[in-house]
A and B are shown apart, each in its own frame.
Chain A
Amino acid sequence: MAGPMKMRATLAGGGTAGANTEVRVLMTHPMTTAQSGQPLHFIQNVTVKQNGKTVIEAEISQAVSRNPVFSFRLKGGAKGDKIEVSWVDNKGESNAIETAVA
């Protein structure tokens, strides 16, 4: 079972023209590498959607730490925008979280 995720999305620049949406997301995952001698287990794909539209599709590797924290900046945006983040790992397990931009 996938552990919890947590996300914060805020409008940087106080909502004026040219503002950006700042997203910070935490994921619970062992991110097991080949070095550990354990079976490989790591998040492979991260998808970010802004109001249902995919804005980031990332492929990440074993080089990312356990329980990763990601932050990214999306151009534009408004308060109340729906931000969805999901991940899929190499075993096909997945988790997702959504929040409204504050």
Chain B
Amino acid sequence: MRFGFLLWILACAPLFAQDAKKEIQKYQQMIAEGSPVELFELEGEALWKKPQGPSNVSLEKCDLGQGAGVLKGAYARLPRYFKDADRVMDLETRLLHCMTTLQGRSRDEATKRVFGNENQPSEMEYLSAYIAGQSRGVKLAAGHTHPKEKAAYELGKALFFHRAGGWDMSCASCHGEDNKRIRMQELPVLHKPQAARPIMATWPAYRVSNSQFKTMQWRINDCYRQMRYPEPNFASEATIAMNTSLAMVASEAKFGSG
């Protein structure tokens, strides 16, 4: 009897999963129509325009790849190679670059608190929300022509499949097979464009479950924490390579479209 019930449950499991998937889609729709991310964008805009650091200037002259101060579509074209720094940079790395060069701040000071919490979001989170918001509707097109961009893509791909750490895991352990999930959260197969696109099109992201805005550097950092790796450095070669690789797999996705 009990065994029969168990079979019934197993038979219904795909149905439950379908329902849950629909509910999650409904929730994503609501989020797209109006979410607290807009409040983060307002704070980010204020921070972008606020004079700070020893030079007491704002970030408004910061070149995110489309020219000094050009924000429209800038996020969708990151990461990319920057000649002035002679390296590939993602959004947060570039912001850090502008904070140290334009505003004259030290790297230590500017990276003291890159990941915030629900009570006090970080400067990087507010700024990321504001800048990513200016790329809605723009197709993702990370740089992929410069040799350093190609190298970053290759390194990111290699890291994705590289098993290490206390549990001998790689990103692909969770994100390498179809139809995997953790609790109700589906795990996208991130080396496949059709799975990576909807994800990369909606990151950085506000999470209602913990009322926080999460950035890509945080996402990579936290995946490594979950895999029990040593903590990667903020804006390091490895995290940028990972972001470059993910963005390139997801290229052509229209940003902000889920």
Residues of A within 8 A of B (CB): 3-6, 8, 24, 26-28, 30, 65-67, 69, 71
- The answer, yes or no, to whether B158 is at the interface (CB within 8 Å) is no
Complex: how many Å from CA A24 to CA B43? Answer: 19
Size category of the binding interface on chain B: 10 to 19
**Given A3-B43, A4-B43, A66-B118, A26 contacting B211 (CB threshold 8 A):** no
Q: Write the nearest CB–CB distance from A3 to chain B, whole angstroms.
A: 7
Residues of A within 8 A of B34 (CB): 8, 24, 26, 69, 71
Q: Write the nearest CB–CB distance from B120 to chain A, whole angstroms.
A: 10
Contact B39 A30 (CB under 8 A): no
Complex: how many Å from CA A66 to CA B212? Answer: 10
Nearest residue, chain A, Cβ from B206: A67
**Given A24-B33, A26-B38, A71-B34, A66 contacting B43 (CB threshold 8 A):** no
Complex: how many Å from CA A27 to CA B35? Answer: 10
Instruction: Please provide the chain B residues from 107 to 124 with a CB less than 8 Å away from any CB of chain A in the complex.
Output: 118-119
Main secondary structure of the interface of B (DSSP, over half): loop
Residues of A within 8 A of B43 (CB): 3-4
- The answer, yes or no, to whether B36 is at the interface (CB within 8 Å) is yes
- The answer, yes or no, to whether B208 is at the interface (CB within 8 Å) is yes
Nearest residue, chain B, Cβ from A30: B119
Q: Which of B33, B39, B211 contacts A3 (CB 8 A)?
A: B39
Residues of B within 8 A of A27 (CB): 39
Residues of A within 8 A of B17 (CB): none
12 residue pairs from A and B, CB less than 8 Å apart? A3-B39, A5-B39, A6-B39, A6-B42, A24-B33, A24-B34, A26-B34, A26-B36, A28-B36, A65-B208, A69-B35, A69-B36
